[in-house]
Structure 1
Amino acid sequence: MSPVSDGVSGTSGAFRRHQWAIAALFCSLGFQYATWASRIPALKDDLGLTAAEVGFLLMAAGIGAVISFPLVNPLMTRFGSRRLALLSALGLTLLLFALAAAPNYPVALLVLGVDGVLVGCLNVAMNAQGAALEARFERTTMARLHATFSGGSLLAALLASRMNAMTSSVSAHFAVAAVLLLLFCVYARTGLLTDDASEQQTSEQTSQKKEEENEKAKEKKKQWSMPSGVVLWMCVAMAFGTVTEGAMNDWSTLYMQEVADASHQLAPLGIAVISAMMVLARIFADGWRGRFGDGRVVVAGSALATAGLAFALLGGGVVTALTGFACVGLGIAAVTPCVYVAAARQGSDALALVAAMGTTGLLAGPPLIGFVANATSLVWGLGVVAGAAAVVCLCGTRIRWRDVPEESSVTSPVEAVPGSGTG
């Protein structure tokens, strides 16, 4: 009998406790990322940067993420996912102070480079925790955990809007944000899975849930020889999907302020709208997958994101921008969870490669927008983002999806929200 099939309330309570703790990690990463992204206009003014220099600043975070890839496995072995996640989250908290105090452009580049390394470590560690939770309790929860990442971004955007209304001090804003991040860390520490459980899940994830451990090595070899083309399409979809997410988070505030002529108080609402729609979409994503299949969800969603952003860029104005941004958040939200699930079916190596492409797209994509914006305009820069969403749509037609999920693995949206039942 599965750990949850007996319906024992104690087991459900344990699942919720672990789920909330892991959700705190996802939320903290989204919160930290959107916190400094929401102050890009202020950092740009304080350091006297051009759009191209802002692009290089964001590229430093992407380079840091790339550097983290060969480091993650040894660090996971040495510390385990639990300790690595907590150490990375604490480091990201301290980096907010370093960024606020950066006296010049080179120091800011260094700070964001280190930020990228820690983001890469936390991303792998917290997803390992989430995957361990699914394997241990045989309940789906990954999409909802990703929803809390978007929820953290939304919270950061709302805080930024409020802090902008109260003070222009980046240091004051980041100090308040750091206190909240520390609270997330303290709470996560109380309920994360032990390192043994996480390591067990990492080994189990190379095969179907009910496959024997001794079949996994064989399966892994087959999957790298047979579906390499499929894995490539997944990598492209993940990279361009996270380019869309990252670019909208990093450049929406600047677009609202410089192109849509929004006030300083309204400018961060671009991130808020995107994050709010992503939260809602990810809460209901598993239901959509069960009804329509992963492929249709990805293709329709990325097409909506493309059309919505094109509408925002062509229409102009605050209301049009927020409407288009809402379409982007709603459409692109389910792409990452769906591709993660598809990659997991191809084996652990495929999953690691797809995850690496996702982190690269999230952090290295925004600088590309900066370079395009510097050479042309921010409107054309975000036009590239619309093109990235269109590429995801194309990839969605090429990936071999599991269109009819197993009935037992799909939970209702209400039950799946962390703390309200299952994941």
Structure 2
Amino acid sequence: MWDKERRSVATVFATHGAASGTFASRLPWLSDHLQLSAGKLGIALLMTSIGAITTMPFAGRAVARFGTGTVARTLICVNVAVLVAAAWMPSLLTLAACTIVMGAVAGTSDMAMNAQGILVEKRLGRSIMSGLHGTWSTGVLVAAMAGSLAAHQHIDARVHFAIAAAVLAVAVTWGTRSFRTTAADVGLAAEKKEDVPLFVIPRGVILLIGLVGFCGIYAEVASQDWSSVYMHRVLHGDEAEAAFTTGMFAFTMAAGRLSGDAVVGRLGAATTVRACGVLGALGGILVIAARSPLPAVAGFMLIGIGVSVVVPLAFAAAGHAGPNPTMGVAGVATIAYGAGMAAPGIIGGVADLTSLRVAFCAVAVLAGMVALGGGLLGRNAPAALHGAEPVRVAEAEVLATEG
């Protein structure tokens, strides 16, 4: 039963990532189609941050009222529909209107699927969040490779997005069938809808965990959204090479996350995050110093490894910090995803004033900050995240929950 539920959650993570990767892989097409400068493209991408910041604090109440499955399924379907619309927009203003909606629905659906993942992790008593986020990165990778192929074959992004949206809508509808809605549904302490505040304000340790998550997400989102543009504009690669760079970043992100649960089980969350932060900082330095495509691709791959476990472990630490996983996740996400999603806009603004190389200095610095704050992501982790043996759920108890 639990394996089935975990596969369903993983499917939704992969679908969410694929939607993001599809959009990111064709940003050079959108930029050229609308003749946008780096700064103007950054404004459009900044709207995702505004949409997310506006809606994420309300995610806890939405999930408590409608359930994780309904929220994730509905909003991811809206996300892919808006993705299709974005390719048809005739101006920066209309594109920005699309991206603000994309940020709002992507951010809230992200909270729902992460809350569901934490509920399953609590029930299993072992780390699974890194692996779930690994499937998200796998979705980004597959979508980026598809985008590279579509660009190489000169397929119009409007056609590409329409096909991708249809596939992803079917996948998320299938994946959310086995979602459990509340903690009570998986045998944890019952939570009441009226106990969930309408607006979640991060405080205390949740605030600190969120700041570590911010550093990791800034580096992640900046690299995901700007790696193709960096390769295209700074190192003069063609559209296929640019999309390939995004794919390689996503590949190492996926590899790091898929192996992250095993590494955390051996080294513990804190040590794992510190080591990854160092690798991410080195990758950022390599990207800045690169004068040809190959070293830059290697740098983006190191950044991918470096930030791979930060988000899942930040969400896991926040989700285990209190009785309501959704509230903890929403609090961290308000800082990490909300503020971190500002990275594309900040990168674009700094690039307009100076250059993309200078803009990526912040990526190297913030990846280094992840290493300094790694200890915060281990303090609220369950025993399995410290390398202890996972808690086994008795078969009789599992059967009881089925009744």
Q: 1:134–1:264: structure 2 CA closer, same or farther, 3 Å change rule? A: same
Match of 1:382 in 2: 360
**Superposition pairs of residues 201-280 of structure 1, within 5 angstroms:** 204=189, 228=204, 230-280=205-255
Question: Which blocks of at least 5 consecutive residues in structure 2 are unaligned?
Answer: 196-200, 393-403
Match of 2:257 in 1: 282
Amino acid across the alignment from 2:65:
R
Alpha-carbon separation, structure 1, partners of 2:28 and 2:72: 30
Q: 1:128 aligns with which of 115, 123, 145?
A: 115
Q: CA deviation at 1:400?
A: 6.0
Q: 1:408 aligns with which of 375, 378, 389?
A: 389
Match of 1:299 in 2: 274
Residue aligned with 2:242, SS = coil
Match of 1:220 in 2: none
Q: 1:180–1:397: structure 2 CA closer, same or farther, 3 Å change rule? A: same
* Alpha-carbon displacement from aligned partner over 1:128-149 (angstroms, at most 9, x marks no partner): 2212222344443211110011
Q: CA deviation at 1:85?
A: 0.8
Amino acid across the alignment from 1:353:
G
Q: 1:354–1:50: structure 2 CA closer, same or farther, 3 Å change rule? A: same
Match of 1:23 in 2: 10
Match of 1:115 in 2: 102
**8 Å Cα contact 2:69/2:177 also seen in 1:** no
TM-score when normalising by structure 1: 0.83
Alpha-carbon separation, structure 1, partners of 2:340 and 2:163: 25
Alpha-carbon separation, structure 1, partners of 2:21 and 2:218: 15
Q: 1:410–1:287: structure 2 CA closer, same or farther, 3 Å change rule? A: farther
Task: Give the aligned CA root-mean-square deviation in angstroms.
Answer: 2.6
Q: 1:240–1:201: structure 2 CA closer, same or farther, 3 Å change rule? A: farther
Question: Which blocks of at least 5 consecutive residues in structure 1 are unaligned?
Answer: 1-13, 207-212, 218-223, 412-423
**8 Å Cα contact 1:27/1:148 also seen in 2:** yes
Q: CA deviation at 1:199?
A: 5.8
Q: 1:149–1:309: structure 2 CA closer, same or farther, 3 Å change rule? A: same
Q: 1:136–1:51: structure 2 CA closer, same or farther, 3 Å change rule? A: same
Amino acid across the alignment from 2:154:
T
Alpha-carbon separation, structure 2, partners of 1:376 and 1:241: 23
Residue aligned with 1:132, SS = helix
* Alpha-carbon displacement from aligned partner over 1:208-228 (angstroms, at most 9, x marks no partner): xxxxx9xxx9xxxxxx99x92
Q: CA deviation at 1:393?
A: 1.9
Alpha-carbon separation, structure 1, partners of 2:363 and 2:25: 18
Q: Which moved more, 1:395-404 or 1:278-287?
A: 395-404
Amino acid across the alignment from 1:371:
G
The runs of 4+ residues in structure 1 deviating greater than 6 Å are none
Q: 1:141–1:165: structure 2 CA closer, same or farther, 3 Å change rule? A: same
Amino acid across the alignment from 1:37:
A
Q: 1:178 aligns with which of 165, 180, 191?
A: 165
Task: Name the count of aligned residue pairs.
Answer: 379
Matched, 1:33 2:54: no
Q: 2:85 aligns with which of 70, 94, 98?
A: 98
**8 Å Cα contact 1:241/1:335 also seen in 2:** yes
Q: 1:364–1:164: structure 2 CA closer, same or farther, 3 Å change rule? A: same
Matched, 1:188 2:175: yes
Q: CA deviation at 1:367?
A: 1.0
Q: 1:341–1:182: structure 2 CA closer, same or farther, 3 Å change rule? A: closer
Q: CA deviation at 1:299?
A: 1.2
Q: 2:296 aligns with which of 318, 321, 328?
A: 321
Q: 1:202–1:328: structure 2 CA closer, same or farther, 3 Å change rule? A: farther
Amino acid across the alignment from 2:158:
S
Percent identity, aligned pairs only, is 28
TM-score when normalising by structure 2: 0.87
Alpha-carbon separation, structure 2, partners of 1:319 and 1:328: 14
Q: 1:198–1:38: structure 2 CA closer, same or farther, 3 Å change rule? A: farther
Matched, 1:369 2:350: no
* Alpha-carbon displacement from aligned partner over 1:227-283 (angstroms, at most 9, x marks no partner): 92x443312110111011111000000011111222221111111111111111112
Match of 1:354 in 2: 332
